[in-house]
Amino acid sequence: MKLEGEKTMASKREIVIDTLMGKSTEEIPYSFDLTQLVKEKLAKYYHVQPDEVAETIGDYLKYVYTGTADGFDTEEQNGYLRDEFGVLWNKGEQTREMGDWGGIAGSPLKEPTLEGYQFPDPFAKGRYDPVIQESARAGGRFVTLHLDGLFDVAWHIRGFEQLMMDFACEEEFVTKLLDRSLEYNLGMIEAAPSCVDGIRFGEDWGQQKGLLMGGKYWRKFLKPRLKEMYAAAAKRGFHVLIHSCGDITELFPDLIEMGVEAVNPIQLEVMDLTYIKREYGSYVTLYGGLGCQSTIPLQKPADVLREAEERLKLLSKGGRYIFGPSGAIPTEAPLENVVALTEFAKKHYRP
């Protein structure tokens, strides 16, 4: 029962939503992307199961992922897995030590044509069962559905080097491939259950300096389709978050124009975060910013905590900040560094 004059504490979900909408919050939300091996180390440290780590450390976001269609066999053989797109992934133990993503060992489109190729059915039975099941375990956190973005869907199918050449030499094919990728993702958005609060579209456009395909090709091939995809998500009532590693500084005005509410992981090592906060921090939420290529894996706990304080001071000013690492904390990060960071975050930093 709420007594007269008693203040009601906002849920983590409400705090994240207010942050995305640029409203003042009493707490700075935080979220930690962790590779599986780091998650397992933290699970042992906190004496919990790996799937309980996010809740244990107080993460404000609950990430959920789609499954495969009922009846599709994803059994791994000799460390390799072929997914519903026909992409062959190397999921061996050596790739697990590097991260959770594995490596693509084979893409189905050997030639620049879609003839005879069939995209998976986004509405297939069973695809969203894991999302519904995991959303029920959110415990007041912001439920974030992760979907691959258009560029990643396309290059997984075609192969990275081939698609990069196609941008310059096979415009008609690239147009058809991205249109089909968009159609697939629009179906995924339409099929997403209402228990989802937001969608984080993950695709990497940046490299250590500048964009992989350059601004010209990004705006020609990707921007109009991404804009349609983000609008479809917003129309469903989902908040729109994006993930892109690398230096995507030049895209911030475009992303804001397209309705993106949060940009992750804002890599410290490749972008001027002071500039980005000053120029764009009033219009879009910045999510991440702690050094996953530098401080967290390579320095001492005191250095990690110093950086955490500096990042909060810079990026939380005026709101619109979700505290966290600039990408998945790598497997080689010392456990003491990760624990120092999670314990720091658990203090519920208040501005």
Note the pLDDT of residue 347.
Answer: 77
- In the chain, what percentage of residues exceed pLDDT 70? 92
Tens digit of each residue's pLDDT (9 = 90 or more) over 155-206:
999 999 999 999 999 999 999 999 999 999 999 999 999 999 999 999 999 9
- pLDDT surpasses 50 at 6: no
- pLDDT surpasses 90 at 42: yes
Burial tier of 277 (Cβ tally within 10 Å: 0-12, 13-18, 19+): buried
Cα separation of 61 and 54, whole Å? 8
Burial tier of 145 (Cβ tally within 10 Å: 0-12, 13-18, 19+): buried
Cα separation of 77 and 243, whole Å? 30
Q: Which residue has the higher pLDDT, 44 or 94?
A: 44
Whole-number average pLDDT of the chain: 90
Q: Which residue has the higher pLDDT, 151 or 78?
A: 151
Tens digit of each residue's pLDDT (9 = 90 or more) over 292-302:
888 999 999 99
Q: Where are the domains of the chain?
A: 12-72+122-345
Note the pLDDT of residue 24.
Answer: 86
User: Residue 7: pLDDT band by 50, 70, 90 thresholds?
Assistant: very low
Note the pLDDT of residue 78.
Answer: 75
Per-residue b/e over 51-63, b at no fewer than 16 CB within 10 Å? eebbebbbbbbbb
What's the fold here for domain 12-72+122-345? TIM Barrel (3.20.20)
User: Residue 3: pLDDT band by 50, 70, 90 thresholds?
Assistant: very low
Cα separation of 209 and 321, whole Å? 24
Q: Which residue has the higher pLDDT, 197 or 102?
A: 197
- In the chain, what percentage of residues exceed pLDDT 90? 76
Note the pLDDT of residue 10.
Answer: 82
User: Residue 268: pLDDT band by 50, 70, 90 thresholds?
Assistant: confident
Note the pLDDT of residue 2.
Answer: 30
- pLDDT surpasses 50 at 5: no
Closest CA to 149 of 223, 236, 61: 223
Average pLDDT over residues 239-249: 96
